[in-house]
Amino acid sequence: MTTPADARIAVVGAGPGGLTCARVLQRHGLPVTVYDHEPDAHSRDQGGSLDLHDDDGQVALREAGLLDDFFALARFDGQEMRRLDPAGRLLAHHLPAEGETSSPEIDRGRLRDLLLRSLEPGTVRWGRTLAAVSGPDDGPRTLEFTDGGTVESDLVIGADGAHSRIRAALSGARPGYTGVGFLEAWFDDVDTAHPELAELVGRGSAAAADGTRGVFAQRNGGGHLRVYVVQGVPADWLAANGLSTADTAGIRAYLRREFAAWSPEMVRLVTENDGPYVDRPIHALPVPHTWEPSATLTLLGDAAHLMPPLGVGVNLAMLDGAELALAVAGAATVEEGLRAYEATMLPRSGETARALEGRAIDLTR
């Protein structure tokens, strides 16, 4: 059986979970290589803002030795939360107390950069798109890339998200559409260009719903605002309405009809965006999602437990990554480390997934 010190460790996926895992492994003297399909670290927009919780995401950053660095970058005023009605009236309001650190916000891109800077040079190999993983369960495993290249590994960690290629080697489970679609819009220089919307949302996030549809608005760094329209709709709702994401004017007209009973200010929150809309159908894995134990493969984050986006995904992925690294570093063999990690991660993710099952539709109520 392979010892952690002798293992060739590969992490597939350079998201927060995979990078946290790599960082903690390196802190414990274990070499690791991360493979990611993106051409470089900044080839695409990394998405919106995240709140990292003191009982999971921050725990992972502490194990990574990066908690103070995170606090230096975090937006503590982003912990403000507002609940509005469709007229824009304030129904509930949380203002963070002085010194509150329970769930400060950070943009995904800044968090990823923090983790990337913490790794040894050359840890991440960009532009490596995984096609499949093969080889016997006791190893070595072979990572097969779409460019024809291959890499042998004694431990392969699937941190490759919702449509994980590593998952296919462990489980036949596939994400299914939840019946809820998010339509994303964003605003630039919101304090100057859209001051009335900036005042409506505040420094953190604001949500409103009418029982059929909902809106969630979230401050990002750099003066940006992201807004998500939440609807219970078929996955092909755009095409069914004769629309596409290229038809910004047509989507705006659709939203004006859908939100006709909302106040003009609230309608502006979904129709005066800068740039095109992004369609984000929400998928989830079956609950619970488990697999037969492997001596050389495991999963973390969305690859292991894709759930509705209700504030837990990245936090759990980072906690998974840290706990997996610690379990492997402290074990006599790689397989022993995987069993210790999965004994904690699988029950935790199953319990959380059951609690969130069907909850995405709650944002419309």
Domain ranges for the chain, please list them. Answer: 4-82+101-174+285-364, 177-282
> What mean pLDDT comes out for the span 261-283?
96
- Cβ contact 157:294 at 8 Å: no
* % of the chain with per-residue pLDDT over 70: 97
Considering the entire predicted model, what is its pTM? 0.95
- Find the range with the poorest average confidence among 20-29, 44-53, 343-352: 44-53
Cβ-contact 279, 181 below 8 angstroms: yes
* Tally of residues, the chain: 365
pLDDT tier, 300 (very low <50, low <70, confident <90, very high otherwise)? very high
Decide: residue 215, CB within 10 A, 0-12 exposed, 13-18 middle, 19+ buried: buried
Specify which residues 219 forms β-bridges with.
225
pLDDT of 182: 95
Domains 4-82+101-174+285-364 and 177-282 share a fold: no
Mean pLDDT of the chain: 95
Mean pLDDT in residue range 242-268 = 97
The band of 44, judged by pLDDT with boundaries at 50, 70 and 90, is confident
Would you state the pLDDT for residue 362? 66
pLDDT tens for each residue of 202-233: 999 999 999 999 999 999 999 999 999 999 99
Q: Which residues contact residue 282 at a Cβ distance below 8 angstroms, ignoring those fewer than 6 apart?
A: 177, 178, 180, 181, 182, 308, 309, 360
pLDDT in tens, 156-204: 999 999 999 999 999 999 999 999 999 999 999 999 999 999 999 999 9
Please tell me the predicted confidence (pLDDT) of residue 335.
Answer: 98
Q: Convert the pLDDT of each residue in 83-103 to its tens digit.
A: 999 999 999 999 999 999 999
Matching CATH number, 177-282, of 3.50.50.100, 3.30.9.30, 3.60.10.10, 3.60.15.10? 3.30.9.30
pLDDT at 145 over 80: yes
CATH class of 4-82+101-174+285-364: alpha beta
Determine the Cα angle at 307 with ends 302 and 309, to 5°: 100
Per-residue confidence (pLDDT) for residue 76, from 0 to 100? 95
3-state secondary structure the chain: CCCHHHCCEEEECCCHHHHHHHHHHHHCCCCEEEECCCCCCCCCCCCCEEECCCCCHHHHHHHCCCHHHHHHHCEHHHHCEEEECCCCCEEEEECCCCCCCCCCEEEHHHHHHHHHHHCCCCCEECCCCEEEEECCCCCCEEEEECCCCEEEECEEEECCCCCCCCHHHCCCCCCEEEEEEEEEEEECCHHHHCHHHHHHHCCCEEEEECCCEEEEEEECHHHCEEEEEEEECCCCHHHHCCCCCCCHHHHHHHHHHHCCCCCHHHHHHHHCCCCCCEEEEEEECCCCCCCCCCCCEEECCHHHHCCCCCCCHHHHHHHHHHHHHHHHHCCCCHHHHHHHHHHHHHHHHHHHHHHHCCHHHHHHC
Q: Residue 3 corresponds to which tokens in the numbers above?
A: 């010892």
Give the Cα separation of 185 and 361 in Å (integer): 19
CB of 266 within 8 A of CB of 256?
A: no
Is the pLDDT at 29 greater than 80, yes or no? yes
pLDDT of residue 365 exceeding 90: no
